Structure 1
């Protein structure tokens, strides 16, 4: 049977298996094992355990649980509400300032925690009721928080970028730097739209009913949030200053975040620390299991010559490279509708990377494009995890209203992709300026 035909069968079988509700990692293992057994015989299954555990035999993988512990320690405290309150106190008199402060809080908390759902829950619990109390439309309140939560997988330190680096064997440090300016660009686009939409709906005057804060009240909240921000800055400085590797800086960052949580937020009870470690272990094991399963899945595709045939077929297409990129973006967008970002990256990045590099695209720029596509999937149905998180903390706001409020931010993300295509230096300049040109 032709490898491309087998590839179509694999794609169909994977979709069917994952739609049964089975976990992503288990689904990939089932599909890979089944196709190897059918087309390559039982002898090929002997190598699967070695391949699975071989995928996990990487020092770089240590950074994943460490960064997750950092996020869990931050998410288990009042850092989110405090961050929101600090920005709200400083921006309350700015037109549309409450929306801007919510988006800014989402961007900062998402960068600290690396978790979109945690960001939505932490900022939304305070931000959505306050925006509604001030007269902001429900769509603006819910949609801005849902979209703001997605920024965590782009702004460093990002677990999604770590997974991309491991899957494609690219520098994690460069990937982090590549996400900085696009992350700020996307945050800025979100804020511009939110302010315009608030004004367009006639709700801009709602800000005037906000409380006035003295300079003392503005400054007194800062000590609660500055330590966490300082840790993130310190982690990035250690990484790019040549002081330590990403895994080492992640370990130190995790320890410092736990220490700050204990000292600043009095999280010294063993039960509180147990929750942080339990949740971190659960999420880390899930991601690592998907990484191992994706390695087996990639081995199956390679053994049946599916990967090579797909690459040759695409390379043989006589199309403009931007048409090719448009097709790849469409694929990533559709995949992101149904699968979590980690799964999409692990399944597609090893196949797509040789194609985009042969077409003359920068792999670090492409990582940013992939990540923004994954962000869109977080606020679009049928999965749209952030939509359901917002609905959970504000059940009286219908999913339809949350979706309507989120769709303009999807257009902002699409605009960001277009801007990055026109100005790729937004993603490539900072890594080259700090670390030199990639070899």
Structure 2
């Protein structure tokens, strides 16, 4: 069978299996084993266990459970509520300040926890009722939290960037730096839209906001600043040549646990067990997907599907920006149905040779891919953040949450366009700190 036709068949069967309700990792293994058995014989099946475990034989993978523990220890405390309250106290008299407070709290908490659902839950529980009480439209209140939660997979440290780096053998340090400027640019776009929509509907903050004294503003900072120092310390250790990403993640996880125990009195062994249990569960899920994706990539390469697709696209006489537009459409559609980690592991090994052949920077492409994945988190039918917000505020309909999120999707599209026009937004900082890439 022609490799391109075989590739189309693989794509169809993969979608069919994943839509059947099977877990992503198991679905990839089923598809890989089936096609290898039919088209390559029993010999290739004998290599599957070696490939499965060999994919996990990577020291960089240790950073994933460590960063997850770091996020889980933060999410198990009142850090989100304190972060929200601290920003509210400092920005309470700024026009539209409550929306800015929520978006800023989402960005910082998402960067610390690396989890979009945890961010939506932690900030939304306080932010959404407060915004509604002050007269903000339900769509702005819900949509801003749903969108703000997505920033965690772009602003470092990001598990999604680690997965991309491992899948494409790209420097994780460069990927982290590449997400800094686009992450804050995206947050600024979110804030700009939120302020515009607030002004259009009437700013009621000035009438309803509480006035805080300077003593009250400084009072809460000791609860928030240690976590921010940890993030800065992790980044300094990584880029100051003090430690590798995996070692830095381990130190960050330990410090977050210690701070959670000291500041938030997380002494109960049951609470600590919940943190470690949930972290282990999420880590195993991600690592299992990584291992299964390794087998899936081997199957595509063994049957010459990856090489044939890359060669076919390379022979197309189309403008490279038309090609990039098609890639973005593909990523958007995939992100509507699959979690970011699964999309990256399945698509990155296929797309990277195509992207490089077209003259695009793989570090820059990682940022574009990640923003596409952020859109998927607030878009139906999966749209995980939408359902988390609906669980927090069940009296706000999913339709209202979705409509409130759509303008933020537009902000993400604008961010992708800006990155295409000004690729230095993603590549300047990595090149300045770590030198020009190869």
Mapped pair 1:370 → 2:339: no
Q: Which residue of 1 aligns with 2:97?
A: 97
SS at match of 2:204: helix
**What's 1:19 paired with?**
19
What is the RMSD of the two structures over their aligned residues, measured on CA atoms? Answer: 0.5
Residue in 2 aligned with 1:173? Answer: 173
Contact residue 97 and residue 205 of structure 2 kept, 8 A? no
Matched with 2:327 is: 328
Displacement after TM superposition at 1:358 (Å):
1.3
Q: 1:44 offset after TM fit, Å?
A: 1.0
1:58 aligns with 2:58: yes
Scaled by the length of structure 1, the TM-score of the pair is: 0.99
Equivalent residue, structure 1, for 2:84: 84
Other-structure match for 1:392: 391
Deviation at 1:391, TM superposition (A): 0.3
Asked whether the 8 Å contact 2:146–2:378 carries over to 1, the reply is yes
Distance 1:341 1:242 in 2: 30
Question: Hey, what does 1:112 align to over in structure 2?
Answer: 112
Corresponding residue number in structure 1 for 2:136 = 136
Q: Is the 8 A contact 1:162 1:172 kept in 2?
A: yes
Provide the rounded CA distance (Å) in 2 between the counterparts of 1:275 and 1:227: 22
Using the TM superposition, give the Cα deviation of residue 244 of structure 1 relative to its aligned residue in structure 2, in angstroms.
0.3
Question: Any runs of at least 4 consecutive aligned residues in structure 1 with deviations exceeding 4 A, and if so which?
Answer: none
Deviation at 1:313, TM superposition (A): 0.5
Q: Is the CA contact 2:314–2:354 (under 8 Å) kept in the aligned structure 1?
A: yes
Output the CA distance in 1 between the equivalents of 2:205 and 2:427.
Answer: 40
Residues 222-271 of structure 1: CA deviation (Å, up to 9, x unaligned): 00010001001000000000000000000000000000000000001111
* 2:244 corresponds to: 245
In structure 2, distance between residues paired with 1:390 and 1:195:
21
- Tell me what 1:35 maps to: 35
SS of equivalent residue, structure 2 residue 317: coil
Partner residue, 1:75: 75
The offset of 1:205, in angstroms, is 2.4
How far 1:354 sits from its partner (Å)?
1.0
1:172-211 equivalence runs, <5 A: 172-202=172-202, 204-211=203-210
Instruction: Find out whether 1:159 has 2:196 as its counterpart.
Output: no
Q: Name 2:309's counterpart in structure 1.
A: 310
Change (3 A) 1:200 1:300: same
- Find the counterpart in structure 1 of residue 424 from structure 2: 425
Q: CA deviation at 1:207?
A: 3.9
Query: 1:220: which partner in 2?
Result: 219
Structure 2 equivalent of residue 284 of structure 1: 283
8 Å contact 2:331–2:372 — kept in the other structure?
A: yes
Matched, 1:357 2:356: yes
Look up the SS of the partner of 2:94 in the other structure: coil
Q: Is the 8 A contact 1:134 1:207 kept in 2?
A: no
Q: Is the 8 A contact 1:376 1:413 kept in 2?
A: yes
Work out whether 1:414 is the aligned partner of 2:418: no
- The one-character-per-residue Cα deviations of 1:295-337 (angstroms, maximum 9, x if unpaired) are 0000111111100000000000000110000000000000000
Separation of aligned partners in 2, 1:154 and 1:411: 17
2:289 & 2:322 partners in 1: Cα distance?
31
Q: Cα distance, 1:42 vs. partner?
A: 1.5
SS of residue paired to 1:22: coil
8 Å contact kept, 2:98–2:205: no
User: CA separation in 2, counterparts of 1:358 and 1:313?
Assistant: 12
Q: Residue 4 of structure 1 corresponds to which residue in structure 2?
A: 4
User: C-alpha distance in 1, partners of 2:224/2:73?
Assistant: 13
Indicate if the aligned counterparts of 2:95 and 2:206 stay in contact, CA closer than 8 A: yes
Say if 2:168 and 2:349, in contact at 8 Å, map to a contact too.
yes
CA distance in 2, matches of 1:207, 1:35: 64
- Which residue in the other structure is 2:145 paired with? 145
Q: Distance in 2 between matches of 1:86 and 1:208?
A: 20
Secondary structure, in 3 states, of the residue corresponding to 1:438? coil
Q: Bigger shift: 146-155 or 15-24?
A: 15-24
Rounded Cα–Cα distance in structure 2 between residues aligned with 1:368 and 1:126: 30
- Aligned partners of 2:206, 2:311: CA distance in 1, in Å? 57
Match of 1:409, SS state, is helix
d(CA) in 2 for partners of 1:427, 1:168: 17
- Deviation at residue 21 of structure 1 after TM alignment: 1.0
* Paired residues of 1:93 and 1:208 also in contact (CA < 8 A): no
Unaligned runs of 5+ in 1: none
Distance 2:133 2:420 in 1: 40
